Amino acid sequence: MKILRVERNILVSNASPPVVAVRQGPGCLIQILWFAFIGWWLGSFAIGVAYVMFLLVVTIPVGIAILNNIPMIMALRQPDRLVTPYGEVGVPQHNFLLRTLWFIFVGWWLAGVALSVGYFLCMTIIGLPFGFLIFDMTPALLTLRRS
């Protein structure tokens, strides 16, 4: 099944007749329980591991993959869109050299600040949605990835 686009947790394919697959995650209660008992400390550990991956230059893609999955790790929240290792299909990216220079001089520390703020917002019930918004922005802050 070749995916043409993703619309609000619905995968739309070009098969004849069109096949629509709805991605469903666990319910709200399960997500809250996961976050309360597992997600808050597992998310902190995952962020730390991601930053260790950034220090070992060869494993940067692994660190980025971990950061892309922070909402899933912390609250079992499904991603809104499908992302390949090269970005989203059909979305033009900035020049590789520009993205590399951004990561070296700005991205690594800006993403660290954003992750810290997002994590502390997630520790409050009111700040939880804002924390996840910051986690969603982290790959763009880290490497200027367009989505």
Instruction: Convert the pLDDT of each residue in 116-147 to its tens digit.
Output: 898 899 888 898 889 888 877 877 888 887 76
Residue 61: CB atoms within 10 A of its CB come to: 10
Q: How many CA atoms lie within 13 A of 96 on its CB side?
A: 1
User: How large a percentage of the chain has pLDDT more than 70?
Assistant: 74
Check residue 57 and give its pLDDT. Answer: 77
Please state which of the ranges 15-19, 26-30, 142-146 shows the lowest mean pLDDT: 15-19
For 113, list phi and psi in degrees, rounded to 5. Answer: -65, -45
For the segment 94-107, the average pLDDT, to the nearest whole number, is 86
Please write down the long-range contacts of 139-142, taking CB distance under 8 Å and 24 or more positions apart: 139/64, 139/67, 139/68, 141/107, 141/110, 141/111, 141/114, 142/64, 142/67, 142/103, 142/107, 142/108, 142/110, 142/111
Number of H helices, E strands in the chain: 7, 3
Check residue 88 and give its pLDDT. Answer: 53
Please tell me whether the overall predicted TM-score, pTM, comes out greater than 0.85 for this model: no
Partnered with residue 5 across adjacent β-strands are 12
